[in-house]
């Protein structure tokens, strides 16, 4: 009986020790991650510099007006870069020659705030949902930059959010991450044929700007800021190996950054790659000269896609897939791969935020 009591006591003691150990290790581990993350955000926040304008000196478009493709077409050159946001019911097109003067469009679709952003200095266009822990918000331009990238501020708490990071680096919401949605970087000549029902951002922005002129140059010709020279503002990390203005398709999988050369993807059409032991596939869409990245799995089963005689087929069932990650014929018809948001960005800017992304770079 005594032995039994001792044994019971031993068991309880062992369980207690193990529990304390697990809790301590968990706390220690999470504290380490949090401290590391906090330190990283603080380092980034220390590098914020003034770009010259005051807050909202580059005025976001707060009440966007739209035109039909037919009405917008005469004022947009075929080679003009446009950003496309596909929502459930409607598609919106944002011409770069307007966005370059405003950088942010605050939109509300089906009661939800959406923020379409473009930073000309880093060549990055991203979409964010306006849901933050402090409620629904719109974003403004802070007039500051970090790593040459637009620093936004939310109108609820004034926290600072670098566009490429999509995460607050300073203020009440420090550490919070914005939910992204894909914004497609393409050209007007492709978008107007592909999305014939889309709504196109109008020049009636409420501000006087020369929308026929881009202060940084032009994407249509070479030798301008967009494809030559280095960053105008200081950056935290600079890579010596690759060209600063090389366009990469970049994204994050569970906060691990990855990037692929857009030219390489356009040449190969499809690239399978691995991030953190997770299989991904990047597919080039020549209809829009854009790229999309997907998880290479469906219903927890691995799906390996390959180009085969002009068609994308999976190795497992030989089903045919399209550039949107949808199975269009074969056994898996109707299946859809989960998209991982990835966007065009100049290499120098991505590297400046994520030097570790070189480990997951396909060049």
User: Given the rule CB under 8 A, which residues bind another protein?
Assistant: 49-54, 56-59, 148, 206-208, 210, 212-213, 215-217, 225, 228-235
Least distance from another protein to the Cβ atom of residue 53, Å = 5
Q: Which residues contact 166 (CB under 8 A, 6 or more apart)?
A: 126, 128, 177, 178, 180
For residue 323, the SS3 value is: coil
Least distance from another protein to the Cβ atom of residue 202, Å = 14
Measured from the CB atom, the residue of 59 and 171 that comes closer to another protein is 59
Q: Which residues contact 2 (CB under 8 A, 6 or more apart)?
A: none
Rounded Cα gap, residues 29 and 42, in angstroms: 20
Measured from the CB atom, the residue of 32 and 204 that comes closer to another protein is 204
Measured from the CB atom, the residue of 57 and 175 that comes closer to another protein is 57
Q: Give the CB-side neighbour count of residue 83, counting CA atoms within 13 A.
A: 27
Measured from the CB atom, the residue of 77 and 171 that comes closer to another protein is 77
Measured from the CB atom, the residue of 7 and 213 that comes closer to another protein is 213
Which DSSP category does 171 fall into?
S
Least distance from another protein to the Cβ atom of residue 271, Å = 31
Rounded Cα gap, residues 267 and 99, in angstroms: 29
List, in sequence order, every beta strand (DSSP E) within 33-123.
Answer: 49-50, 66-68, 81-86, 91-95, 104-109, 112-119
Least distance from another protein to the Cβ atom of residue 114, Å = 23
Backbone phi and psi for residue 200, each to the nearest 5 degrees, phi listed first: -110, 130
Least distance from another protein to the Cβ atom of residue 128, Å = 24
Measured from the CB atom, the residue of 175 and 215 that comes closer to another protein is 215
Give me the numbers of helices (H) and strands (E) for the chain, helices first please: 6, 29
Least distance from another protein to the Cβ atom of residue 321, Å = 42
């Amino acid at each position: 009986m005594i032995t039994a009591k001792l044994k019971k006591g031993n068991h309880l003691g062992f369980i207690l020790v193990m529990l304390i150990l697990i809790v301590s290790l968990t706390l220690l581990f999470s504290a380490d991650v949090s401290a590391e993350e906090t330190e990283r955000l603080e380092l980034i926040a220390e590098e914020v510099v003034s770009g010259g304008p005051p807050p909202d000196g580059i005025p976001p478009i707060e009440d966007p007006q739209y035109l039909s493709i037919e009405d917008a077409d005469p004022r947009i050159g075929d080679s003009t870069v446009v950003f496309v946001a596909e929502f459930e019911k409607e598609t919106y097109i944002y011409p770069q020659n307007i966005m370059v003067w405003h950088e942010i469009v605050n939109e509300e679709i089906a009661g939800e705030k959406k923020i379409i952003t473009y930073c000309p200095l880093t060549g990055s266009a991203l979409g964010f949902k306006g849901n933050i822990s402090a409620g629904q918000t719109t974003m403004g331009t802070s007039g500051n930059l970090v790593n040459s990238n637009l620093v936004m501020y939310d109108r609820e708490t004034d926290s600072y959010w670098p566009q490429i990071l999509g995460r607050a680096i300073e203020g009440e919401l420090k550490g919070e991450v914005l939910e992204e949605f894909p914004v497609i970087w393409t050209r007007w000549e492709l978008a107007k044929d592909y999305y014939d029902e889309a709504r196109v951002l109008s020049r009636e922005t409420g501000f006087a700007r020369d929308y026929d002129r881009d202060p940084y140059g032009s994407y249509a010709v070479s030798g301008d800021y967009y494809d030559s020279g280095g960053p105008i503002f200081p950056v935290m990390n600079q890579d010596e190996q690759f060209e600063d203005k090389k366009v990469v398709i970049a994204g994050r999988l569970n906060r691990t950054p990855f990037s692929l050369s857009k030219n390489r993807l356009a040449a190969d059409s499809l690239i399978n790659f691995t991030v953190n032991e997770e299989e991904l596939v990047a597919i080039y869409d020549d209809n829009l000269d854009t790229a999309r990245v997907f998880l290479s799995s469906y219903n927890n089963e691995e799906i390996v896609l390959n180009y085969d005689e002009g068609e994308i087929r999976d190795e497992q069932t030989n089903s045919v897939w399209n550039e949107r990650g949808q199975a269009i014929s074969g056994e898996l018809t109707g299946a859809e791969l989960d998209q991982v948001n990835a966007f065009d960005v100049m290499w120098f800017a991505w590297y400046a935020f994520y030097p570790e992304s070189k480990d997951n770079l396909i060049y």
